[in-house]
Structure 1
């Protein structure tokens, strides 16, 4: 069977799965899961990727990611290699951890973002031992499952700061108590009604409306054969410095971000790194500071977003706006 073609473009949304080689476990204990999530968070930051939902099972995982820079391949290569290296080193093993390449399909944001998110969050009760349990017990199990982004979506303690919740929750009234209650209610209904997606995927690679499928095929796959090949249709463009600074200025209500200080300057540094494609030294030259100051500033911003809801909201708003812009 031909490998599904992997289309990449700025703002593309993907459902991605990775499964252990020979269906063997890829997480043996809590330490492995924490290490995996730490590597995931670092990779998201390095490659400017947004994570909407995730779940970790014993021998596989699911991610729902969006790539403002159109760089899924680079992100996944770094992410998979880094975790595999950790796992092999810890357990003194060699060779492949995963069963072939990761699997992914393109998702239409407007039509299927929420549906795929809920599909991912339901995975813990799709295993053999849970399928026949009473619905109330399944729901309780989901709410208590630690290795998923669901708890952050339904207002429970343990929200992961590297997950972008607001985009999905916008469909339910926003990242508010009301929106989170509505998401939880819909998930409860899904336990009864189901939320399948596999039968809706076109050509093993696209989940979307007829118009979206047609656009992808015409834009990226026209005149392509079905033979196995590497990624096609890839567009990888960083935004100009001017556009990055304009967005930051608008979202922070600042008229001169180049002369900013404190948290705002850290946001400028992080945005130029993620969306302008500049390295720490280039950002330092632009802002008139040493490259180590840039590195430290970006690190401090990450720490602030974990603790300060206002800062986190500003950063998430900037991420959403950047993901929709094309040069």
Structure 2
């Protein structure tokens, strides 16, 4: 399998995650968490990287960071090797700790700064065992969760010196009592509304951003990638393929050999309509209310529900997964 292409430049923002090998835990006790954070803080200082948010789950972690020196790969190499060595030494083991290399999304901070930080901070209550709990109970879990940057955002007494709080709080009246209150409300609103992960926008090509941002990255960085590397990195082609909604709908109908009216007329259990909604969301940079109007005048919440059901089905149904991937591949090869 080809390695993910790393787009690096001065001042870039990234969401980064790493999962334990075979989904095993990467922390076995509180001391491991503390060593992880000490190693993280040290690596941030050495490579002049600024960390906006983090969360440590049992078998993976999430980081939201920016690189003033354009050196994400160097930073992550040093950080992951250092923690793996410390973990192996402490637990008398050897070998890989993580499942492959880290995964990263390049983030358009002008459009998705708030959403990515909230996504990270909501992780502790998005696991299966908390799915049925009330909003009140989830708020309590978040407030008591120790290994996350969220507590420092809402209470200055909980802050640590390796987190840069200002960049996110500047979107909420700054690092003030009012700004911190607004950010807390923004995060809690995510518990009530259950918004889609902002990372869904970048699935397939690794860029979470507006169409303008994506086009800028493609022109400035990806067009300079050698042809051989482009063939080895399929999502480079995907990032360059953006459609208007009408164009995508026309191509989709052509691929599945169905009429648009027929697709849109089908009810909420229509897989084809759900696939079309997902593709419109990914490739056209339009919001769910607009998608609802395009597929039969349905409410934005119905669009969100259909997309979530589709993703769950794809995880369980290999034939549906293959169908979806074939359509995406076909779209990436078509030229308008």
* Equivalence for 1:127: 127
TM-score, length-scaled by structure 1: 0.68
* Equivalence for 2:300: none
Larger helix proportion of the pair? 2
SS in 2 for 1:36: helix
Deviation per CA, 1:284-312, whole angstroms, max 9, x where unpaired?
xxxxxxxxxxxxxxxxxxxxxxxxxxxxx
Task: Give 1:156 deviation, angstroms.
Answer: 5.7
* Equivalence for 1:115: 115
SS in 2 for 1:129: helix
Task: Give 1:228 deviation, angstroms.
Answer: 4.2
**Distance (whole Å) between structure 2 residues aligned to residue 141 and residue 156 of structure 1:** 19
Task: Give 1:192 deviation, angstroms.
Answer: 1.4
Higher alpha-carbon deviation: 48-57 or 190-199: 190-199
Name stretches of at least 5 consecutive residues in structure 2 with no aligned partner.
Answer: 235-336
* Equivalence for 1:227: 232
Q: Is the 8 A contact 1:2 1:226 kept in 2?
A: no
**Distance (whole Å) between structure 1 residues aligned to residue 231 and residue 144 of structure 2:** 44
Q: Is the 8 A contact 1:43 1:79 kept in 2?
A: yes
* Equivalence for 1:197: 198
* Equivalence for 1:208: 209
Task: Give 1:137 deviation, angstroms.
Answer: 0.2
SS in 2 for 1:180: helix
**Distance (whole Å) between structure 2 residues aligned to residue 25 and residue 142 of structure 1:** 21
* Equivalence for 1:306: none
Q: Which runs of structure 2 are paired with 1:67-82 in the superposition (5 Å)?
A: 67-82=67-82
Deviation per CA, 1:181-218, whole angstroms, max 9, x where unpaired?
00000111111112322321153310001000000011
Q: Is the 8 A contact 1:11 1:67 kept in 2?
A: yes
* Equivalence for 2:34: 34
* Equivalence for 1:102: 102
Structure having greater relative contact order (Cα 8 Å, sep ≥ 6): 1
**Distance (whole Å) between structure 2 residues aligned to residue 99 and residue 218 of structure 1:** 32
* Equivalence for 1:254: none
**Distance (whole Å) between structure 2 residues aligned to residue 138 and residue 204 of structure 1:** 32
Q: Is the 8 A contact 2:105 2:199 kept in 1?
A: no
**Distance (whole Å) between structure 1 residues aligned to residue 20 and residue 213 of structure 2:** 32
Task: Give 1:159 deviation, angstroms.
Answer: 1.4
Q: What RMSD, in angstroms, separates the aligned Cα atoms of the two structures?
A: 1.6
Task: Give 1:56 deviation, angstroms.
Answer: 0.2
**Distance (whole Å) between structure 2 residues aligned to residue 202 and residue 148 of structure 1:** 25
Task: Give 1:20 deviation, angstroms.
Answer: 0.2
Task: Give 1:113 deviation, angstroms.
Answer: 1.0
**Distance (whole Å) between structure 2 residues aligned to residue 93 and residue 141 of structure 1:** 32
The alignment status of 1:161 with 2:161, answered yes or no, reads yes
Task: Give 1:39 deviation, angstroms.
Answer: 0.5
* Equivalence for 1:181: 181
**Distance (whole Å) between structure 1 residues aligned to residue 34 and residue 186 of structure 2:** 29
SS in 1 for 2:232: coil
**Distance (whole Å) between structure 1 residues aligned to residue 72 and residue 224 of structure 2:** 23
Task: Give 1:2 deviation, angstroms.
Answer: 4.2
TM-score, length-scaled by structure 2: 0.66
**Distance (whole Å) between structure 2 residues aligned to residue 204 and residue 219 of structure 1:** 16
SS in 2 for 1:13: strand
Q: Is the 8 A contact 1:4 1:204 kept in 2?
A: no
The alignment status of 1:51 with 2:51, answered yes or no, reads yes
**Distance (whole Å) between structure 2 residues aligned to residue 182 and residue 140 of structure 1:** 18
SS in 1 for 2:221: helix
Q: How many residues align?
A: 230
**Distance (whole Å) between structure 2 residues aligned to residue 81 and residue 177 of structure 1:** 39
Change (3 A) 1:202 1:59: closer
